[in-house]
Structure 1
Amino acid sequence: MLTESLLALAAAGGAAVAQAAGTEAWGTVSEGVARMFRRRSGRGGEDEVQRDLERTALVRAADDAEGSRRQAGLWQRHFTALLSDADDQVRQRTETELRRLISLVPGVVDRYQVLNIHGNTYDKSPQQYGSHNHQQIHYGSDT
């Protein structure tokens, strides 16, 4: 079972692939995606991934908003499977590569804020206070 942050990463990856098609970032993003799946050991899915990349580019070129949403969902499922099937070392490398590819597509990281949180650990239990539009979080004493 993937963590919430990995599921968000897969969703952001799907959005990034669908959004990158037809832009300057497409070459780098599509090559990076193909490379991630090519390394996937014991899988014969490289041809499928290449077909899906081509289909994503065609849908984007047709300016089909619903088709682009479906392509984003398709890539989200691909990335979820890729992250689920990997051991810890491969998963970490895949996460790093996927984050790098997502960063190449403007606006995607902004829509998936959970991508900006990385392995936080705290010595003290946090205390959260807030009302309406104001929030304060304290870790330990204020002294």
Structure 2
Amino acid sequence: MLTEELLTLAAAAGAAVATAAGTDAWEELRARLGAWFGRGDSRQEEAALEELDGSAAALLEGGTPTGAELERYGAAWRDRVVATLERLDGPDREDAARDLRRLVVEDPAAPEIHGGDQNVRGDIRVHAEQGSLAAALIQGNVHFGPPPPPVRPEG
């Protein structure tokens, strides 16, 4: 059984993969996560990289994914991380947890982890469809700036 902290780290890793797919952050996160899954075994690392690439392609093949698609994708990668951690024991699990913590905290596309809470750096999109409601609870400071000026087409 994994601790709450490890489950939270796994969820943050899954969210980071979903958030980074198709963005400039993807290649770095992909490489770091592939190495994490490989744990020094180049065949396992290559298999993880292929799985990351294949699942990202599937996620993005229909254009911009919906919130539900991103959530399912993140959950699938969370489960993959959990399964990997569960196969490890003792010092190997501790090393993997330390490396995962470093990967999640250092990745700019990843949610920050603070005592079980999830704080997100970057954009947050809240979207509701088909008459449903969506909301975000914000505790703390919110800073707004003016939008960038419009770009006029040259012509």
Task: Settle same-fold status: TM greater than 0.5.
Answer: yes
What is the DSSP-based 3-state SS (H/G/I as helix, E as strand, rest coil) of the residue aligned with 1:79?
helix
Change (3 A) 1:32 1:100: same
Change (3 A) 1:83 1:13: same
Q: How much identity, in percent, do the aligned residues show?
A: 33
With 61-70 and 27-36 compared, the bigger mean Cα shift is at 61-70
In structure 1, the residue matched to 2:112 is 109
Between Structure 1 and Structure 2, the one with more helix by share is 1
Q: Structure 2 unaligned runs (5+)?
A: 119-155
1:90 pairs, out of 89, 92, 102, with 92
> Where do 1:32-47 residues align within 5 Å?
32-39=32-39, 46-47=46-47
TM-score normalised according to structure 2 size: 0.60
TM-score normalised according to structure 1 size: 0.65
For the 8 Å contact 1:102–1:108, the answer to whether it is kept is yes
CA displacement at 1:50 relative to structure 2: 2.8
Question: How far apart, in 1, do the equivalents of 2:96 and 2:37 lie?
Answer: 10
Question: How far apart, in 2, do the equivalents of 1:101 and 1:45 lie?
Answer: 15
Change (3 A) 1:72 1:100: same
For the 8 Å contact 2:10–2:81, the answer to whether it is kept is yes
Q: Structure 1 unaligned runs (5+)?
A: 117-143
What is the DSSP-based 3-state SS (H/G/I as helix, E as strand, rest coil) of the residue aligned with 1:52?
helix
- What's the RMSD between the two structures over aligned residues? 2.8
Q: CA-to-partner distance for each residue in 1:60-103, whole Å, 9 max, x for gaps?
A: 47211232211101110111011111122121221122122222
Question: How far apart, in 1, do the equivalents of 2:2 and 2:16 lie?
Answer: 20
What is the DSSP-based 3-state SS (H/G/I as helix, E as strand, rest coil) of the residue aligned with 1:105?
coil
With 88-97 and 70-79 compared, the bigger mean Cα shift is at 88-97
CA displacement at 1:107 relative to structure 2: 5.8
Structure 1 ranges of 4+ moved more than 6 A: none
In structure 2, the residue matched to 1:51 is 50
CA displacement at 1:18 relative to structure 2: 1.1
Change (3 A) 1:89 1:11: same
